[in-house]
């Protein structure tokens, strides 16, 4: 019976004193999840309602917020259930689905940020051609590619993962991240090469593209008038902050996965969770504060909410 159970379910071994602090974990996870839902839904609704925000830049921001909602919904409900359960387990098929959802949306974020960088490049460096280049069709194509490419690559990766024979059924983390690769009896060389290819296409390449694009933008802005420099600062800085934060958290998560055997369990727990806490929570805050038009509508929204007398 135990062998059959272990062969069907994966146990999360990354929790620290879950029996003792289970309710505290639950309150923290639920609070963070509610904040993520409220903040990202606010950004999406504001962009949806106000016609002056129906521009490519804001549409990409709304897509990022939608990703954050789906990304968080793929993790937090399971976390809340696990911390109140006697055993923190997940079926192998559900684990592969979570792996697919979380990592494909993470790759989509990188591609959306590169699409936003291209939008800013055209807006600042080719302003007269902007309406022609960044038309409705271009936005639809960029959005489709940003969701489709990671989904296909991660679907293949998850399928290959599910076919691998497992010799270990206890994952080091608290959700199905890259640590599930360590559960296999033998690492497939083809799978390793495919994961490297996927990492380059939906992770490394978009980051390089964004860096190259923003270098060109700042060069053009530096040699232009003050209004162009102001526009570049106001619209590009939030994207750069989001990119830097998300890239650092992702790299840190990968490095933690590589060094797990040398780190205390509490450190592993904190570093595993930070990638699913900071990015979904910080993105709407950064855009809500730094993007002038969104910030203006948020202030109006809160001003309309009159205090009870």
Instruction: Read off the CATH number of the domain in which 65 is found.
Output: 1.20.1070.10
Q: Cβ(173)–Cβ(79) under 8 Å? A: no
Q: Report if residue 188 sits inside a domain.
A: yes
Number of domains in the chain: 1
Query: What are the C-alpha distances in Å from 223 to residues 37, 103, 213, 216, 234?
Result: 41, 40, 16, 11, 17
Q: Report if residue 218 sits inside a domain.
A: yes
Q: Count of CB atoms within 10 A of residue 168's CB? A: 14
Q: Cβ(153)–Cβ(198) under 8 Å? A: yes
Structure tokens, 109: 């974020």
Query: What are the C-alpha distances in Å from 47 to residues 63, 65, 222?
Result: 10, 11, 30
pLDDT at 5: 40
Q: H-helix or E-strand containing 89? A: strand 89-91
Q: Cβ(229)–Cβ(222) under 8 Å? A: yes
CA distance 154 to 104: 6
Nearest 5°: phi and psi at 187?
-80, 120
CA distance 68 to 155: 19
Mean pLDDT for each 10-residue chunk of the chain (309 residues)? 54 85 92 94 91 90 94 93 89 90 92 93 89 92 95 91 80 82 79 87 92 89 75 78 83 70 72 81 81 79 60
Q: Report if residue 309 sits inside a domain.
A: no
CA distance 95 to 158: 9
Expressed as residue numbers, the domain containing 101 is 2-304
In 3-state terms the chain splits into helix, strand, coil percentages (rounded to 5) of: 80, 5, 15
Structure tokens, 121: 């490049």
Q: Report if residue 291 sits inside a domain.
A: yes
pLDDT at 100: 92
Sign of the alpha-carbon dihedral angle for 59, 215, 234, 68: positive
Gyration radius of the chain over CA positions: 21
Residue identified by tokens 């590169």 is: 114
pTM confidence score: 0.88
């Amino acid at each position: 019976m135990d062998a059959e159970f272990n062969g069907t379910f994966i146990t999360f071994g990354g929790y620290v004193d879950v029996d003792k602090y289970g309710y505290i974990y639950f309150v923290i996870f639920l609070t963070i999840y509610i904040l993520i839902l409220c903040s990202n839904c606010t950004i999406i609704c504001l962009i949806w309602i106000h016609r002056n925000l129906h521009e490519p830049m804001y549409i990409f921001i709304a897509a990022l917020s939608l990703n954050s909602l789906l990304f968080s919904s793929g993790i937090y409900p399971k976390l809340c259930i696990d911390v109140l359960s006697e055993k923190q387990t997940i079926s192998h098929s559900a684990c592969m689905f979570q792996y697919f959802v979380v990592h494909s949306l993470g790759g989509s974020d990188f591609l959306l940020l590169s699409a936003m960088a291209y939008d800013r490049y055209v807006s600042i460096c080719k302003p007269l051609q902007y309406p022609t280049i960044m038309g409705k069709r271009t936005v639809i194509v960029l959005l489709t590619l940003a969701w489709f490419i990671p989904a296909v690559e991660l679907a293949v990766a998850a399928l290959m993962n599910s076919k691998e024979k497992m010799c270990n059924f206890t994952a080091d983390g608290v959700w199905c991240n890259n640590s599930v690769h360590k559960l296999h009896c033998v690492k497939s060389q083809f799978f390793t090469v495919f994961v490297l290819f996927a990492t380059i296409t939906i992770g490394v390449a978009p980051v390089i593209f964004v860096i190259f694009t923003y270098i060109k933008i700042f060069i053009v802005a530096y040699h232009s008038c003050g209004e162009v420099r102001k526009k570049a600062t106001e619209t590009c800085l939030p994207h750069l902050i989001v990119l830097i934060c998300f890239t650092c958290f992702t790299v840190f998560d990968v490095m933690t996965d590589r060094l797990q055997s040398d780190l205390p369990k509490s450190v592993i727990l904190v570093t595993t969770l930070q990638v699913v806490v900071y990015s979904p929570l910080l993105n709407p805050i950064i855009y809500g504060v730094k993007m002038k038009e969104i910030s203006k509508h948020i202030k109006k929204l809160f001003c309309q909410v009159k205090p009870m007398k």
